[in-house]
């Protein structure tokens, strides 16, 4: 959802609580109990992963994984406590504990993104924990060993299942520090044509249907009835446009490009540009002048001279994950510096878990700009999906157009919501407890 401390509190508390309980002594939790609880934690994690995280409500997933984490860590920390050395070697013991934690972080955060082409480290970690269960039950006899071995084999099957599923209809797959990109190619029966979809993890970042009338048309979240579509179609009459886009994806917005237009994409992930240029034709087939700036968009824009963009589309949100620093008051001030007179900033706020419209409205009001929300319906014949865009501008002529007024919807700002800045933000007032 967002890389902010609020979302780290629950798993951190689960980890620390398990450490405290396990090191309180064996009298509190006998070994048989911690082994059983560890098995329950494995079972819960296995169920959530096999069922599909996106198919399960967020609160159930978050609480389920947090409880499973606590139970697994309780088992592991209890075994660690039982194997503690004599008091004279405790300094080395805790040093190795710290080194193990650092190695784990390096393996997950640095090594795994470059060795694995998918997010398999959780399944690997569960398999390793189950294998340690075999060691822990060794002294209990053959039956517990067999049970632990079967549990390990069952958990290990998750890896094979994930790898197999990730390769179905996949023509390109790459992973780096910023995530996993997959290009899925299908024979789309609805359009009697081949389609390609770019996924970042499990979230779509654009689709192209290779049928003559749709191959160069903006689809998915970027169709003509969408907020960004209306902004691009109506901002500038027939004169050449300057367009800034934060978030490249499949490059769908390049479909709006005309001869004389200049479109600059900003994307933090260098792998995205290669995928957009080689697996899709939006960028390379556009008559507009297009360039791509690799790096954090806000930092790149802060270091550029004013670009006088007619439209800036802020679409760097990886599905439901939001880089908070792109939707604060200070970020909007950066965008304003790059706007031409009457320019428009279009924020893509489609999100299953967070209602970002009030956040944009507050920062726009503080910046002295007007806000409208446009939520278009899907158009299956043109492969246009439902999407939510918030347009921020001071262009009165644009706001007063009949086609804009008729597409605008109303929304309210929660009384508990405070202005998002670089120093403050909170997800609680905008969290969608019901979807």
CATH code for the domain in which residue 388 is found: 3.40.50.150
Does 259 lie in the same domain as 365?
yes
Confidence (pLDDT) at 396: 93
Q: Are 424 and 369 in contact (CB under 8 A)?
A: no
Out of 116-120, 232-236, 265-269, 273-277, which region has the weakest mean confidence (pLDDT)? 116-120
pTM, two decimals, is 0.87
Burial class (CB in 10 A: 0-12, 13-18, 19+), 125: middle
DSSP three-state, residue 429:
helix
Tally of domains within the chain = 2
Same domain? For 228 and 153 the reply is no
First vs last Cα of the chain: how many Å apart? 15
Q: Which residues contact 268 (CB under 8 A, 6 or more apart)?
A: 178, 294, 295, 296, 297, 316
For the ranges 23-37, 42-56, 225-239, the maximum mean pLDDT occurs at 225-239
CA distance 391 to 393: 7
The pLDDT value given to residue 54: 67
With the C-alpha atoms ordered 419, 425, 430, 435, is the resulting torsion angle positive or negative? Answer: positive
Asked whether residue 4 carries a pLDDT value surpassing 70, the answer given is no
pLDDT-derived band at 186, boundaries 50, 70, 90 = very high
Does residue 374 sit in the same domain as residue 265?
yes
Residue with tokens 């924020």: 347
* 124 plus 252 within the same structural domain: no
- Mean pLDDT, range 182-207, rounded to an integer: 90
pLDDT confidence of 31, banded at 50, 70, 90? confident
Centre a 10 Å sphere on the Cβ of residue 187 and count the other Cβ atoms it contains: 10
Question: Is the Cβ–Cβ distance between 335 and 345 less than 8 Å?
Answer: yes
Q: Quick check: 435 pLDDT over 70?
A: no
Q: What is the pLDDT of residue 246?
A: 96
pLDDT given at position 322: 74
Whether 202 maps to a domain, the answer reads no
The proportion of the chain whose per-residue pLDDT surpasses 90, expressed as a percent, equals 64
Nearest Cα to Cα of residue 433 among 48, 53, 4, 62: 62
Q: How confident is the model at residue 242 (pLDDT cuts 50, 70, 90)?
A: very high
Give the count of beta carbons closer than 10 Å to the beta carbon of residue 412: 9
Q: Are residues 317 and 227 in the same domain?
A: yes
What confidence tier does 385 reach under pLDDT thresholds 50, 70, 90?
very high
User: How many other C-beta atoms can be found within 10 angstroms of the C-beta atom of residue 87?
Assistant: 8
| Cβ within 8 Å of residue 85, ≥6 positions away | 92, 93
- Asked if the model's pLDDT at residue 317 lies above 80, the reply is no
Pairing of strands 242-246, 262-267: parallel
Residue 301 and residue 158 share a domain: no
**253 and 159 within one domain:** no
Residue 95 lies in a domain: no
pLDDT of residue 227: 95
Q: What is the DSSP letter of 110?
A: I
pLDDT for res 283: 96
Same domain for 159 and 223: no
Residues 267 and 120 in one domain: no
Residue 14 lies in a domain: yes
- CB-based contacts of 398, cutoff 8 Å, min separation 6: 231, 234, 235, 342, 344, 404
What was the pLDDT predicted at 224? 95
Phi-psi region of 17 (alpha: psi -120 to 50; beta: other; left: phi over 0): alpha
pLDDT at 8 over 90: no
SS3 278: helix
Same domain, 258 and 343: yes
CA gap 233, 389 in Å, rounded:
15
Is the per-residue pLDDT at 361 higher than 90? yes
pLDDT given at position 318 = 52
C-alpha distances in Å from residue 92, one per residue of 56, 87, 96, 313, 365: 43, 10, 6, 54, 57
| Domain contains 271 | yes
Q: Residue 89 falls within a domain, yes or no?
A: no
At residue 320, the pLDDT reads 53
What pLDDT does residue 5 have?
A: 61
Q: 142-166 and 31-51 helices cross at what angle (nearest 10)?
A: 20
My answer on whether 387 and 255 are in the same domain is yes
In a domain, 263, yes or no: yes
157 and 242 belong to one structural domain = no
Looking at the domain assignment, is residue 200 inside a domain?
no
> Tokens 């907020």 identify what position?
227
Structural domain range at position 154: 5-83+116-166
- Per DSSP, the three-state class of 29 is coil
* Spatial separation of the C-alpha atoms in residues 377 and 388, rounded to whole Å: 10
What mean pLDDT is predicted for residues 44-69? 84
Cβ neighbours around 66 below 10 Å, total: 17
pLDDT computed for residue 211 by the predictor = 92
* Average model confidence (pLDDT) across the chain: 90
* 15-50: b (≥16 Cβ within 10 Å) or e: beebbebbeeeeeebebeebbebbbebbebbbebbe
Mean pLDDT over residues 313-342, rounded? 87
Q: Is residue 24 part of a domain?
A: yes
């Amino acid at each position: 959802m967002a890389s902010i401390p609020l979302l780290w509190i629950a798993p951190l508390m689960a980890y620390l609580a398990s450490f405290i309980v396990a090191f309180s002594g064996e009298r509190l939790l006998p070994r048989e109990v911690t082994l059983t609880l560890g098995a329950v934690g494995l079972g819960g994690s296995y169920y959530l992963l096999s069922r599909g995280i996106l198919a399960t409500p967020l609160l159930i997933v978050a609480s389920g994984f947090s409880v499973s984490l606590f139970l697994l860590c309780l088992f592991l920390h209890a075994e660690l406590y039982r194997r503690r050395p004599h008091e004279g070697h405790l300094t080395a013991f805790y040093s190795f504990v710290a080194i193990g934690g650092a190695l784990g972080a390096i393996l997950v955060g640095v090594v795994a993104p470059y060795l694995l082409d998918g997010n398999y480290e959780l399944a690997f970690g569960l398999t390793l924990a189950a294998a340690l269960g075999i060691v822990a039950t060794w002294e209990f006899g053959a039956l517990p060993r067999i049970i632990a071995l079967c549990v390990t084999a069952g958990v290990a099957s998750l890896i094979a299942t994930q790898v197999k599923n990730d390769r179905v209809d996949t023509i390109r797959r790459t992973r780096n520090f910023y995530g996993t990109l997959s290009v899925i190619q299908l024979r789309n029966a609805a359009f009697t044509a081949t389609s390609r979809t770019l996924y970042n993890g499990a979230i779509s970042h654009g689709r192209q249907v290779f049928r003559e009338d749709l191959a160069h048309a903006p689809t998915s979240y970027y169709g003509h009835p969408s907020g960004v579509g209306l902004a691009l179609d109506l901002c500038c009459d027939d004169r050449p446009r300057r367009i800034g886009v934060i978030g490249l994806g499949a490059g769908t917005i390049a479909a709006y490009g005309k001869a004389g237009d200049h479109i600059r994409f900003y994307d933090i992930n260098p792998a995205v540009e290669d995928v957009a240029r080689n697996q899709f034709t939006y960028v390379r087939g556009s008559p507009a002048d297009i360039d791509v700036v690799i790096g954090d968009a806000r930092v790149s824009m802060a270091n550029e001279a004013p670009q006088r963009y007619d439209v800036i589309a802020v679409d760097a949100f990886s599905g439901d994950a939001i880089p908070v620093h792109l939707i604060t008051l200070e970020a909007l001030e950066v965008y304003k510096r790059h706007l031409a007179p009457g320019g428009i900033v279009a924020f893509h706020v489609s999100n299953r878990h967070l209602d970002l419209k009030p956040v944009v409205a507050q920062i726009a009001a503080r910046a002295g700009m007007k806000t409208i929300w446009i939520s278009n319906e899907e158009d299956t014949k043109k492969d246009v999906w439902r999407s939510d865009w918030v347009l921020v501008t001071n262009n009165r002529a644009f706001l007063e157009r009949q086609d804009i007024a008729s597409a605008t919807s109303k929304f309210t700002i929660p009384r508990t919501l405070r202005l998002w800045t670089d120093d403050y933000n909170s997800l609680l007032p905008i969290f969608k407890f019901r979807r």
